[in-house]
Chain A
Amino acid sequence: MIFNIPFIAVVAMIFIGLYAVLFKRNLVKIVIGISIIESGVNLFLITLGYREGGVVPIFTSAPSDVASNAPGSMVLPVPQALTLTSIVIGVAVLALMLSLIMHIYRHYGTLDVRKMRRLKE
């Protein structure tokens, strides 16, 4: 079980994020929650690709003894590529959400969910 600690960390991050999204009343905190969930999922993907004792799958910086028995001694590259895509997606979503929140703040003068009409439910 002790070897599952990275996965426990992933789950913990997802929970912290979900908690913020579900129970917090401040819009910025909700956005922070989504960001934390996303980090959790990214960490999950990275964690899936880890191979015991593996090095980064880049031949420029790999020691020659590692590179010679190549696939077995390197971590899996696909999850890293997926994470890369996912991070950029996260940045884009974050930018859009924050600009919406700026507009909402200008409109209502508050960030409290309870003061708004549609977001209340």
Chain B
Amino acid sequence: MNWFETITMHSPALIVAVPLLAGFLTPLVSRINDTVRNLFVLIMLSITGILIAILGYDVLTNGIRTYVFGGGNTVITLPSGLMFHVRIIFEVDSMNIFMVIITIILAIIGIVYSLSFMKKEDGLDKYYTIVLILVTSTLGMELTGDLFNFFVFLEISCITSCALIAFWVHKGEALEAALKYIVISSIAALFFLFALGLLYAQYNALNMATIANAIQFSIIDQAALILIIAALTMKAGLVPMHMWLPDSYGEAPPSITFILIAATQAGLYGAFRVIFTLYGNVFNSINLAYVNLVITANTIGWVLVALAIITIIIGVFMALIQTDFKRLIGFTAVAEIGYIFLGIGVRLASKYVQYSGSSATAIAFSEYSSIALNGSIFHIINDCLDIGLLFLVAGAIYYATKETSLDKMGGLARNMKYTTVFFIIGLLAVSGMPPFNGFASKLMLYESTYQLNPIITIIAVLASILLLAVFVKVFYSAFMGPEQQKFKEVKEVPKGMLIAMGAVVVIIIIFGLFPNLVINNIVQPAADALTNYTTYISKVIPGVI
């Protein structure tokens, strides 16, 4: 076994362990001086990125890779033929790789941005420590194959994000947003723990594949499903519990918001994993035993569609009336989350139609359900990049003018040329205009939704157009208009921030020009990994199905 093979084998553990080690070391390293600390953080994250690249290449070519913490067998078989897991297992398939790539890109860009954005603040050693732990927790949530481990990382993410949202402690709103966030997400995490207990009582297992293999979909399992979905949608910001999202996105430092987006998407990933893998044999295959129940793919799908539509509408209309730049983008982020859940809902509902309809409709709906899933997954990365870019631009404006209220801005395009260009690209991408990435994923969502119900599509398209209107308004009030006296001395932001925004813009343009490249190489494998839940199970429980 050569060294490269060894690194690949251990990379699932190292991807989590390296940033964690860096987080533990940062308080000690920052005693030396600030430059060393900044370099240390960047280098550690780059090492993580390299490990992710190695693992990603391996998973995309050779299939699922597992890692057992503590070694030994993956699975213990009793003489009676029972198979189960004792140790914690990381199981990495294409979907995990997809999420992890997003997270590390966002983390590195966010760190580069904060190197110049946060330069003048105090308490930066704690700041970088907590950022590293936040990145760790997000990566851990996205790699783990164990339910309780997922809960632990969920709580880490909750605590660290809360602390970072409250970074500007002198602002009352930031404290309130942080408190609101931690109250909601700790209740969500406790619901998750309760559901986990229900599943544990049924199957005496905590490993996702083991539970997915054994799941009976009894009434207790349905209760657990509802609790888990409620918890994860709370974490992701779907409508009944969306209020924390614009608050905390708006009040946190923009560099943090950029990384928080990745943490929110990890909650979304959890919803994907639970619906399509943990309950895969209910929602992902033909199982006539579950057709007559109350909770079927149909009901869950339509509930998600309804919630997603409400989320989109609320997000867009609340964004219309905001005057604070960052809060406005926060509400846009709510709407984008709605689009992702729309994809999941459409997928579930049309999958149901596929099994209950005639053969001709079955083929059509099978195609559309997979388009919906692809669009939904593709929209995750587009949402991260577009919303993230807008937040970075808002941060740049705040850095230059110390202003977030739209009413007081104006004429900034004269002095901040690069930022203006970046903002235009961001607004076109987020509202789904053709040459940019938002268009590709939204088109896929519209296409699949239209088959299910045209009204939903019309609402989604209208919301997208309204989003464009919102941002055009922002563009005029912030960048256009007469030059204001107080902004005469405003300069372009430092190079570090421009590099970070430029990197996001480059990725957005590449994704927009070559969407097929992305879809074929990472989105389609991710969707396949979710669909083939039996492969996921049989990797850790050999010989099943």
Contacts and interface: CB of A to CB of B under 8 A. Distances in A.
Main secondary structure of the interface of B (DSSP, over half): helix
A97 B187 contact: no
Contacts of A93: 155, 158-159, 182, 186
A41 B158 contact: no
A85 B152 contact: yes
Contacts of A92: 155, 159
B194 A97 contact: no
Interface string A95-111: 01100110110011000
A101 B177 CA distance: 12
A101 B162 CA distance: 13
A41 B183 contact: no
Contacts of B155: 89, 92-93
A4 B200 CA distance: 17
A112 interface: no
Contacts of B247: 118
Interface string B172-204: 110111111011001100100110010011000
B175 A100 contact: yes
B183 A117 contact: no
Pick from A45, A89, A100, A119 the residue with the most CB of B within 10 Å: A100
A54 interface: no
B166 interface: yes
Contacts of B178: 100
A119 B180 contact: yes
B246 to A, nearest CB: 10
Given A89-B152, A93-B155, A108 B190 contact: no
B243 A121 contact: yes
Interface string B197-240: 10011000010000000000000000000000000000000000
Interface string A3-17: 000000000001000
Pick from A45, A108, A118 the residue with the most CB of B within 10 Å: A118
A27 interface: yes
B187 A37 contact: yes
A73 interface: no
B508 interface: no
Contacts of A38: 186, 190
B494 to A, nearest CB: 30
Contact of B179 (A44, A45, A104): A104
A7 to B, nearest CB: 10
Given A34-B183, A44-B197, A82-B148, A96 B176 contact: no
Contact of B176 (A34, A41, A82, A117): A117
Nearest to A97: B182
Pick from B152, B155, B162, B247 the residue with the most CB of A within 10 Å: B155
A74 interface: no
B163 interface: yes
B39 interface: no
A55 interface: no
A81 to B, nearest CB: 9
Nearest to A120: B176
B17 interface: no
Contacts of A66: none
Contacts of B173: 117-118
Contacts of B200: 45, 48, 78-79
Nearest to B172: A107
A86 interface: yes
B194 A119 contact: no
A33 to B, nearest CB: 9
B169 interface: yes
A30 to B, nearest CB: 6
A41 B194 contact: yes
B180 A103 contact: no
A34 B186 CA distance: 8
Interface in B109-159: 148, 152, 155, 158-159
A41 B175 contact: no
A52 to B, nearest CB: 15
A37 B175 CA distance: 23
A71 to B, nearest CB: 12
Given A41-B197, A117-B173, A121-B243, A101 B187 contact: no
A34 B190 CA distance: 9
B126 to A, nearest CB: 13
A103 B243 contact: no
A48 B176 contact: no
A19 B62 CA distance: 51
B183 A21 contact: yes
Contacts of B176: 104, 116-119
Interface string B416-459: 00000000000000000000000000000000000000000000
Pick from B175, B187, B200 the residue with the most CB of A within 10 Å: B175
Contacts of A100: 162, 166, 175, 178-179, 182
Contacts of A41: 190, 193-194, 197
A19 B212 CA distance: 34
Contacts of B163: 96
Contacts of A45: 193, 197, 200
A21 B187 contact: yes
27 contacts: A27-B179, A41-B197, A44-B197, A45-B200, A78-B200, A78-B206, A79-B197, A82-B148, A89-B152, A92-B155, A93-B158, A93-B186, A96-B159, A97-B179, A100-B162, A100-B166, A101-B179, A103-B169, A107-B172, A117-B172, A117-B173, A117-B176, A118-B177, A118-B180, A118-B247, A119-B179, A121-B243
Sort A-B residue pairs by CB-CB distance and give the 6 closest, nearest first.
A118-B176, A107-B172, A48-B201, A119-B176, A89-B155, A100-B179
Given A96-B162, A97-B186, 4 more contacts: A38-B186, A100-B182, A118-B173, A119-B180
